Chains A and B, each alone.
Chain A
């Protein structure tokens, strides 16, 4: 308990307020939680990732669950061999011609479909404001006169 507390107050944002400390030392409940949160700001500001250790272990756990593919290379080479021998067969070429014919018709149909997609009515942004882009602009552009204020209203709109 004492060690924990001294670790907490080591932070740069220590208020040097002894009364605060006493209250925290006596309590285990909500005040203690508040104190922890307060110090978390310091950690975040300093760039210490509060959740880093947890994150690493989570990633490791997920990696462990991934199946290991031992010989994908071998599988591929067998397939390649089969394809090569196919070209030598005469029957292959007659089949190939009909496949090409079907493919041609198919492609024409596909092109028509994409053309249809292009005709899809565009949305006028005047009617439907893409506020997510506004927020991203305010977050990453260097001069954020508005960003921390406007963000509020965009969250309210949602």
Chain B
């Protein structure tokens, strides 16, 4: 009797499994769906004690990806993106500041299109099917192979493959960051009328002061980088509120990213030390050889701490710079 039940359960399970039985393939479909489909909806983002609702419209118009995000809570803010170009309309007092950004993976396009890099650090597993924003969604877990990263739970729409929800979970399986649709519909139009900001005639529109960013290669090295992370960029720029250039080195394991900030210590300014957790973000400050080192990332505390301790300047080739 038990054997028969087991057989039935197995048959039922195999019927329930979708056409795709490799979780990596399902993730691949999810990564592309967010960029290729036309949809509109409202999603909620939650990190620590902060919550924001955002209205999104996304369209792929003959390979050109257009997105409009309207932040519904707090100060009025609209984020427009076309490909990797992002323009933000940010209401501040009696002005609207227009900011330019580049290349972010905005929700729901949060998975990288090249998933191969993730395979080193994560294992993909199917979970059950759940209902999100009125739609059936397949859970796919990205479970880390070590303690240097959080785990990602992805809900992928059964019908279209669109990522409808994602949570970041710590080692205790507590959600530290959540982002997901509360309402979602597919768009069946090529009309681009929606791709314009709501203009407030009482406000003055100004461009944000251009923040000079240089891509640099110098001799800052992290001797003992946590496994799976590699340097993906190194820039030098003025962090708002600073008068000297700050080095920012960005590391990623394919989905989680960490920024390392290095700047010379200044007379009369107290050095920053210690550690702090804000929602999913861990921040660690250290002082090495007269330099202020700050590491920030949506990663476990031990990852930022290890990087903050291992920074050094490779003096051998300084003469080149």
* B is a partner of A: yes
Residue in B80, B104, B197 whose CB lies within 8 Å of A144: B104
* Beta-carbon contact of A133 and B283 below 8 Å: yes
Which residues B250-294 have CB closer than 8 A to chain A? Answer: 250, 252, 255-259, 261, 267, 270-276, 278, 280-281, 283, 285, 287, 294
On chain A, the residues within 8 Å of B240 by CB distance are 132, 135-136
B140 contacts the other chain (Cβ, under 8 Å)? no
* Beta-carbon contact of B45 and A122 below 8 Å: no
* Beta-carbon contact of A149 and B201 below 8 Å: no
* Beta-carbon contact of A134 and B283 below 8 Å: yes
On chain A, the residues within 8 Å of B242 by CB distance are 132
* Beta-carbon contact of A133 and B255 below 8 Å: no
Beyond A126-B275, A149-B52, A153-B50, whether A141 also contacts B285 by CB under 8 A is no
Q: How many A-B pairs with Cβ below 8 Å?
A: 173
On chain B, the residues within 8 Å of A34 by CB distance are 199, 201
* Beta-carbon contact of B75 and A129 below 8 Å: no
B172 contacts the other chain (Cβ, under 8 Å)? no
Q: Is the interface of B mostly helix, strand, loop or mixed?
A: strand
**Once the chains are docked, how many angstroms separate the CA of A156 from the CA of B92?**
9
B141 contacts the other chain (Cβ, under 8 Å)? no
**Once the chains are docked, how many angstroms separate the CA of A148 from the CA of B69?**
9
* Beta-carbon contact of B92 and A143 below 8 Å: no
**Once the chains are docked, how many angstroms separate the CA of A128 from the CA of B105?**
29
Which residues of B approach A to under 8 Å, CB–CB?
45, 47, 50, 52, 54, 69, 71, 74-75, 77, 79-80, 82, 85, 87-88, 90, 92, 98, 100-101, 103-107, 110, 166, 168, 177, 179, 192-193, 195-197, 199, 201, 205, 207, 213, 232-233, 235, 237, 239-242, 246, 248, 250, 252, 255-259, 261, 267, 270-276, 278, 280-281, 283, 285, 287, 294, 296-298
A-B pairs with beta carbons under 8 Å apart, 23 shown: A15-B193, A40-B205, A41-B197, A44-B207, A45-B87, A120-B270, A130-B294, A133-B261, A134-B278, A134-B281, A140-B213, A141-B297, A142-B250, A144-B104, A145-B168, A145-B179, A146-B177, A148-B77, A148-B79, A149-B52, A150-B50, A152-B52, A152-B74
